[in-house]
Amino acid sequence: MNKFGLLLCSLLISGTSVMFGQIEKNIKISEVMTNNTANVQDEYGQCKAWIEIANISHTTYNIRGMYITTNRAVLNKELSVPERVKMMSVIPNGENRTNLGGHQHLLFYCNSKPAQGSLHLSVPVDSGKPTWVALYNGNGINLIDSVTVPALEANQSYALVKN
């Protein structure tokens, strides 16, 4: 009986890990604007580069604690987790909007100061150059999604076309 309980417990744990991995695959970088001069404004009336994260599933998923980065150095497998996390911006806790329902999205402002609000991240974006954007899960190790955005004209966005 003890072996059966152990087997059942291990199956439940592995099934949960697979389920969370599958849910994370439904979180996408859906649109990026690196040269925002007159498009979306933040709550201070400023136009900043932004990254839109979308939940393409029908299930609600909370993205708080995930990381966004534009620094390709995080791809170095020899980095420790703390070294990698220092090159990323965390999606903050305590923000109700990070609980994305099915087919919802959320904008995060880049080149900003997190003190300006929970949707303001210090992710650096250079409007005149191609930009690699990556979304990592809360452990700072597993890449959920990434996209290379070409240099864009003012107020032009780069968007996910097919889910």
Q: pLDDT of 12-57, one tens digit each?
A: 444 444 444 456 889 999 999 999 999 999 999 999 999 999 999 9
The percentage of the chain sitting over the pLDDT mark of 90, rounded to a whole number, equals 80
Q: What is the pLDDT of residue 94?
A: 84
Beta-strand pair 99-100/61-62 = antiparallel
Q: What are phi and psi of 132, to 5 degrees?
A: -90, 130
3-state secondary structure of 28: strand
Q: Does residue 48 contact residue 111 with C-beta atoms inside 8 Å?
A: yes
Residue 161 pLDDT > 90? no
Distance CA 53, CA 151 (A): 20
Predicted local confidence at residue 13, as pLDDT: 47
What residues contact residue 81 under an 8 Å CB cut-off, 6+ apart? 139, 140, 141
Question: CA dist 28 to 45, 47, 68, 103, Å?
Answer: 27, 23, 11, 11
Query: What 3-state DSSP class applies to 13?
Result: helix
CA dist., res. 72 & res. 133, Å (int): 9
Amino acid present at 51: I
> What's the rounded mean pLDDT across residues 86-91?
97
pLDDT digits (tens, 9 = 90+) for 115-146: 999 999 999 999 989 999 999 999 999 999 99
- In angstroms, how far is the first alpha carbon of the chain from the final one? 45
